[in-house]
Amino acid sequence: MPQKKLSYDTTLTLGYHFTRLVMTCVFLYASIDKIIHPDLFAQAVYNYQVLPGYLVNLTALILPWLELLLGTCLLFNRWMAGASALAAMLMALFVGMITFNLARGLDISCGCFSAAPDEGPITALTLARDVLFLIFSLTLAMLVYVRKTRNVMEILEENRGG
Amino acid sequence: MLLKTYSLAPALVWHHIGNTARQAIFIILLSMALGIAVNLIRPDSIPFVETWSMADKLAAEGGDTLAITLEDATALFADNAAIFLDARSQAEYDRGHIQDAVNLPWHEVDNYFETVIMTLNPEAMYITYCDGEACLLSHDLAMLLKDLGFTRVKVLVNGWTLWKEHDLPVTTPSS
């Protein structure tokens, strides 16, 4: 019985750290170029044609820092509840935006990992990649919850049972 | 004992949601502060609020504007005085384009260099277009042609949509 519990815990832990580190790389890598080139990224945001003009620059200024902070939280394993939930929401938003613009056939560059307009247009492959990241971040958010509640349950059980 | 522990589950869920919300809000506020603060101190900052319109952008680069109005474009079209260049992909071009327009997809412009660009007369009048207010393909193509020494190049912003809306002559697979 303890053996079984151990292997379950190991799987959870491995899954947790694997998804955590994958999303760390994704967010850190995605944030750098956009922070360096806010003007190019603003153009990329504008090209998506989903925001009113006055919000374009603010989004282009803040979003990369949000990505950097999320990547940092995930890297150092801090504020994981908030960071993992935000990561999942952000990925859901990206998937939504890309789907929307693929559906209406807009020929725009992704602005995902590079702010440069010659990154190449968004394709079904871009969408597939982001869906994969969305699945990773949802898994991570779920694992954060499972681990947190299990910890609390175990402490409670020990206190009450013992 | 176990039952008692599980009756705590809703409280645990709420606790987790509260934690999540607090941390998420904190992360968002911190990134807002960082984004704004860094933009205030960096030398190559961008304005926090900017009007984003294609006409402004075209006018900003070089004194006279690259943009051409639909009226001027249709006048040139009627006189056969300009060549229309479609900067969209070949697939989009095949689904429909301005009558007699030449396809010059911006994303594969290298492949069209010898077959199309070399055959064009640099002295002639060209009007590039793509689709959508924010579409940059026609703008980028126009800038390339100008760099190559073409003297009379204009951009018809949101060309394909405007052209269709005004029922001007088009070529579609069915026609």
Asked, for residue B90, whether it belongs to a domain, the answer is yes
Contact A157 B132 (CB under 8 A): no
- CB contacts of B21 in chain A (<8 Å) are 82
| Per-domain residue ranges of chain A | 2-161
- For residue B79, the distance in angstroms to the closest alpha carbon of chain A comes to 31
pLDDT of residue A103: 86
Co-location of B79 and B30 in the same domain: no
Same domain, B92 and B160: yes
B114 within some domain = yes
Decide if B19 is inside a domain. Answer: yes
pLDDT of residue B109: 87
Please indicate, yes or no, whether residues B22 and B61 belong to a single structural domain of this protein: no
Q: Which domain holds residue B156?
A: 54-171
Assess if residue B46 is contained within a domain: no
**Could you read off the pLDDT tens digit of each residue along chain A, which spans 162 residues?**
455 666 778 889 999 999 999 999 999 999 999 999 999 999 899 888 888 888 999 999 999 999 999 999 999 999 999 999 999 999 999 999 999 988 877 777 888 988 887 777 888 999 999 999 999 999 999 999 998 888 877 887 788 765
Task: Give helix then strand counts, H and E, for chain A.
Answer: 5, 0
- Tell whether B121 and B59 lie within a shared domain: yes
SS3 content of chain B, % helix, strand, coil (to 5): 50, 10, 40
Rounded CA gap, B47 and B44, in Å?
10
* Residues of chain B with C-beta less than 8 angstroms from the C-beta of A54: 49-51
In chain A, whose CA is at the least distance from the CA of B29?
A66
Inter-residue contact A75 to A28 (CB < 8 Å) = yes
pLDDT of residue A71: 98
Residue A159 pLDDT: 81
Q: Which regions of chain B are under pLDDT 70?
A: 1-7, 53-64, 175
Q: Total structural domains in chain B?
A: 2
Output the pLDDT for position A111.
87
What ipTM was reported for this prediction? 0.91
Is B47 domain-assigned?
no
Confirm whether B125 is domain-assigned.
yes
- Which residue type, as a one-letter code, is found at position B105? P
Do B11 and B79 reside in the same domain of the chain? no
Same domain, B88 and B156: yes
Structure tokens belonging to residue A84: 């993992």
Could you tell me the CATH number of the domain that includes residue B77? 3.40.250.10
From the list B1, B26, B134, the residue facing A161 with the nearest CB is B1
Same domain, B158 and B122: yes
Taking an 8 Å cut-off on Cβ atoms, the answer to whether B12 and A105 are in contact is no
